[in-house]
Structure 1
Amino acid sequence: MPPNQQILHTVPFDMEGQRLDQIVASLCPEYSRSQIQKWIKAGNVRVDDKILKPKERLTGGEQITLNAELEVQTEFEPEDIPLGIVYEDDAIMIINKPVGLVVHPAAGNWSGTLVNALLHHSPSLAMLPRAGIVHRLDKDTSGLMVVAKTLEAHTKLVELLQERDVSREYLALVFGQVVAGSTIEANIGRHHIDRKKQAVTDGGKEAITHYRVEERFPHHTLLRVSLETGRTHQIRVHLSWKHMPIVGDQTYGGRPRVPAGISEALRTALQSFPRQALHATKLGLVHPETSEYREWETPIPEDMAGLLALLREEM
């Protein structure tokens, strides 16, 4: 799709009484509602050659002209950074994000991010919001992410995430012996003191996390976790709140916990594990172009695998 495109539509009479922004969103589903709002307010949408407000209601039969102008992301430089591509076609990419890779540029990380890597791999992604990224993983969480390569795919993937139709499974190594799986339903919002952290709070947004036991160890448990919602740091916050913090999570887990009577090798590994032991291992979604359900899975990275091997030796 070209970056600038003029789209003409005649408003169906069965849309009589609907708002302009609702009508344009229905007639142009390849664009997000927020993008359409911006275009209407900027005068890029004309109704019978007139500029109207987003909330004005139409009667049907009007001629709508949309000048779809996409902003090119020029503030971020392409950088040759390995992507770990698991799957790619004309519409999407599935990335196995390594530990330590920041997803999007921000204060303190203006380069060396996934966005910089994506722009190098596929320069056309500069035409998409956030270079096609529709969801995030924390810097020190490894695993699978989906990236859109077209505006149509981006819009559909955002809708799937909002409708909770993207399946995401994680492996998390936590402290403590977890007896059985369960579901955590607790709202998450900003911490009332430390604004860089999230916390379970009544005033937060709905957050639902499911987990089941994958493997048990004398003092730890490997959990398979699935998300129904996608709040910032959701798994880390929920598991810590339930007194089973993730190994290596210094933000939500506190000091490293070292059980008595373990080997020196395991003791050293637990004390020095440099990140939260959390890996996005499985991703499933309806392909935005073919409408087929697809799944991808990736094994845990070497650092977690090594820690699990030491735990098994203690059995």
Structure 2
Amino acid sequence: MNSKLTYYIENDDADIKIREYLKHKLNLSTRFIKKAAIEKRITVNDCAVKMNYVLRLKDRVEIDTFRKEEQDITPEKMDIDVIYEDQDLIVVNKPAGIVVHPTRSYPEGTLANGLLYYFKERGEKCIVRLVSRLDMDTSGLILIAKNQFSHMSLARDMKLDTFKKGYLAVVQGNLKEKYGTIDLPIYKQENNIRRVIDDRGQRSITHYEVVESFAQGELVKLQLETGRTHQIRVHLNSIGHPILGDTLYGGEDNNIIARQALHAYKLTFPHPRTDKIIELSTDLPEDIKNLIEILR
């Protein structure tokens, strides 16, 4: 596995300091550059250089993305549904009922515990760097970076139009408008897990489109333009169509499904190393399929 990124200096990039090249040409963060430079993971023609080094034509710049790290998470063996994996990242399909990262309430049994075991079992010396997250009872695709470089790149690129997160939800009732955009600010109340629509909150944008209509609900496809906590759940409830099973935000508890009927089914993003667009998807889980069949 090659952990190094290699670049050759051409005419346009000669005669500038390597710090400027890394920051403005390669779009690396100041934090990443500083750490890599201190650890001598940035070299020119196989020699570690200071960040004021002036690049010359045909210089070979290499950045080693590997660094030895540890994480205070106990590895635990569990089934991991891997959708895509390479040296820089992994995408997994998280089942409902699993917390993504250890908390005071859930110190063990989380996805991060399972991923750390998965990495160690394969001899990969990396920690769990979450790029995306899902609520405990939301299922679907989660993106995890394997090194500092890919985490920095993916977090930066989340603002791009080429980075898309698609969801499917079964909502209560029938929407008058079969497609549209919800642009309402979401505010975190003090000492309350529940978010609300409030002008004091952050701007939040969700695009939606009805996929299939039933007598008592609809299957809706959603795409996030922003990524606030509980965003889809709050937005759908705000327009009078909460997600079925989402009792925190007004969804009916009808004993058909034991959690909110929300699934992160699609993920599209530029690869941090190659810029190639990666497009991944996963099928609806059985409990949401069963709910849809009953509604039909």
Instruction: Indicate the TM-score class for this superposition, using the shorter chain for normalisation.
Output: 0.7 to 0.9
- Structure 1 residue 281 corresponds to structure 2 residue 278: no
Distance 2:168 2:77 in 1: 29
Give the Cα–Cα distance (whole angstroms) in 2 for the partners of residues 107 and 29 of structure 1. Answer: 38
Structure 1 unmatched runs, 5+: 4-11, 16-21, 47-59, 63-67, 257-269
Offset, 1:169: 0.8
Q: Is the partner of 2:212 in helix, strand or coil?
A: strand
Alpha-carbon RMSD: 3.4
Residue 293 (str. 1) matches residue 291 (str. 2): no
Give 4+ residue runs of structure 1 displaced > 6 Å after superposition: none
**Alpha-carbon distance, 1:81 to partner:** 1.1
Distance in 2, Cα, partners of 1:90 & 1:69? 10
Aligned equivalent of 1:200 = 197
TM-score normalised by the chain length of structure 2: 0.78
Give the counterpart of 1:189 among 187, 190, 193. Answer: 187
Q: Report deviation, 1:23.
A: 5.3
Partner Cα separation in structure 1 for residue 246 and residue 71 of structure 2: 35
3-state SS of the aligned residue for 2:249?
Answer: coil
Pairing of 1:51-62 with structure 2 (within 5 A):
none
Matched, 1:149 2:146: yes
Deviations 1:89-130 (A, max 9, x none): 2222121111111101111111111111111111377644xx
Aligned to 1:160: 157
1:75 aligns with 2:69: no
Confirm whether residue 132 of structure 1 aligns to residue 126 of structure 2.
no
Question: Contact conserved, 2:208 with 2:221, CA < 8 A, in 1?
Answer: yes
Q: Which amino acid aligns with 1:249?
A: D
Provide the secondary structure at the position in 1 that maps to 2:131: coil
Structure 2 distance, partners of 1:30, 1:83, is 32
TM-score, normalised relative to structure 1: 0.73
The one-letter amino acid of 1:87's match is Y
Residue 239 (structure 1) shift? 0.6
Q: CA deviation at 1:153?
A: 1.6
Counterpart Cα distance in 2 of 1:164 and 1:126: 32
Counterpart contact for 1:216–1:222, Cα < 8 Å = yes
1:181 and 1:253 map into 2 onto residues whose CA distance is: 21
Gap runs ≥5 in structure 2: 4-13, 41-51, 55-64
- Which amino acid letter does the alignment assign opposite residue 311 of structure 1? L
Distance 1:222 1:33 in 2: 44
Number of aligned positions between the proteins: 267
Distance 2:124 2:230 in 1: 26
Contact 1:31–1:151 (8 Å) recurs in 2: no
* Aligned-residue offset at 1:73: 3.1
- Give the Å deviation of 1:277: 0.3
Percent of pairs with identical residues: 35
